[in-house]
Amino acid sequence: MTTQATTHFLAGVIEGFYGPPWTQAERFELFDWMAQWGLNTYFYAPKDDLKQRAIWRELYSAAEAEALGQLIQACQQRHLRFIYALSPGLDIRYSNPAELEHLQQRFEQILALGCQNFSLLFDDLPDRMDPADRQRWGSFAAAQCHVVNALFRWTRERCPAARFLFCPTPYCGRMAEAKLGGEGYLATVGRELLPEIDVFWTGPEIISREITVAHIQELQTVLRRKPLIWDNLHANDYDGRRFFCGPYSGRASELRSAVSGLLLNPNTEFPLNFVAVHTLAEFVRNPGTWDARQAYLAAMREWLSYFATSGPPLALEDLILLGDCYYLPYEDGAEAKALFERARDLLSRNPATWGDDAATIRRQLARLREFCFRLTELQHRPLFYALNRRVWELREELDLLERYIAFKSAPGNQNADYHPDSHLPGTYRGGMVSRLQRLLAPQSDGTITPALSRESFPIAREPKI
């Protein structure tokens, strides 16, 4: 078994999303997964723990501290490294000595609970600096390095083996190129931050499709250390309509030797993270070339046991197709992609030419729709609740598409208008968000363009007299 005493490489899970934090029971289940699969690190940083970020100066109550102590103890029992993170950047005054005292008091409280590893996060901050701080330090980077170094030394005096992590304000390539945090931010961090402190990085983007060794090697020369990957590949807190249960992907096997660790910040809904965490663990342990798709299929076979129902068993091939519909941010899985392309190609043709193709695609759509419906029978109710709102939307789209194809396939309907009786204007794909989404259309090159012409928005005029 891998233990924190036998490895320096951090491999595990970040609870660092925006949204309801996981429950204690969910965290304990995560720890069991991690211990079983060979991961070694749990990073506590839920942004909606108010005392982790919004009111970071306020100490935890006795009940809150007890709950954190239970997590720390549970990690220790499973030989997992528990890292506590604090995010003071929203309103910290770097030049005020009292602020460092607040940080020390919080870390003192967490040290007393048995925690030995810590982090300070300065991500997602307003890009403005207090005048007194600017006068003393000159830049965000210098001010943050001063505070982090001071707290690191203070922590090491009390816990010599403490691992200490830092998240910079520009934490991806695009942010650095835009000079978020100021000119020369990362160079200042590389020069002034103590070398024992790990630095987080998410890759070229906040959610990076790929993280290459060349990209990391270039960053190493600036940071003067191996970066620690905060991986948002499976994060979904930015899009409430989606989740991601595809494999850990877009990272070459050689990346493992170029970084100090790989920590995954996954879906907000804990029950949806089985495949993401499982395939990360396989990636870390895999000695050779990484086959993400095969790892996904193997993990889905194991995840199927969570889909026991009150009726007949669900089929693995249907679960794989559902998972392919919610694969990764930048791609659908192979089966979902094929289904979409068949439907798109059919609709691009004259209905008079559809023939047997229409019946074939209708059967495929109906089967997936039925699988989505049967999720209501899941015995694992938290899993059903996590899936329900998103999969319900998929069911509606499958139903509309199948009914449309059936209507157009009927004799005499090829040129007729279809008026569905269950998808009415204003009740389906309605609301302000839906209307706003129709105003601007993302293009394949990353640009955003108006989706509708001015003629699509009739201007109300005064009646003529």
Residue 137, C-beta contacts closer than 8 angstroms, at least 6 positions apart: 94, 95, 143, 146
Domain ranges of the chain: 10-304, 316-409
pLDDT at 441: 87
- In percent, how much of the chain has pLDDT > 90? 83
- Which of these, 367, 291, 359, lies nearest to 335 by C-alpha position? 367
Stretch 379-385: mean pLDDT, rounded?
98
pLDDT number for residue 395: 96
Max intra-chain CA distance, the chain: 87
| CA-only gyration radius of the chain, Å | 26
Which parts of 38-96 fold into alpha helices (H)? 62-77
In sequence order, what E strands does 136-260 have?
Answer: 163-167, 198-201, 228-231
Torsion angle of alpha carbons 14, 19, 25, 28, nearest 10°?
A: 0
Q: Indicate whether 396 pLDDT > 50.
A: yes
pLDDT surpassing 60 at residue 181 = yes
Tokens of 346: 């059919």
Rounded CA separation 88/339 (Å): 47
Q: Helices (DSSP H) in 6-60: which residue ranges?
A: 24-37
Residues annotated as catalytic are 124
pLDDT value, residue 198: 98
pLDDT computed for residue 452 by the predictor: 64
In the three-class reduction of DSSP (H, G, I as helix; E, B as strand; rest coil), residue 98 is classed as helix
The yes or no reply on domain 10-304 and CATH 3.20.20.80 is yes
Q: Are 303 and 319 in contact (CB under 8 A)?
A: yes
- pLDDT tens column, 286-320: 988 899 999 999 999 999 999 999 999 999 999 99
Segments in 272-355 forming alpha helices (H): 274-285, 292-303, 316-325, 334-347
Cα 177 from Cα 151, distance rounded (Å)? 29
Mean pLDDT of 407-417: 94
| 316-409: CATH, from 1.20.58.240, 3.20.20.70, 2.40.50.140, 3.30.70.2660 | 1.20.58.240
The residues, ordered by sequence, that sit 6+ positions from 380 with a Cβ below 8 Å of its Cβ are 271, 306, 307, 308
pTM tops 0.85? yes
Average pLDDT, the chain: 93
Q: What percent of the chain has a predicted confidence (pLDDT) above 70?
A: 95
Say how far apart CA 68 and CA 60 lie, in whole Å.
9
pLDDT confidence band for 456 (50 / 70 / 90): very low
Q: Give yes or no for residue 349 having a pLDDT over 70.
A: yes
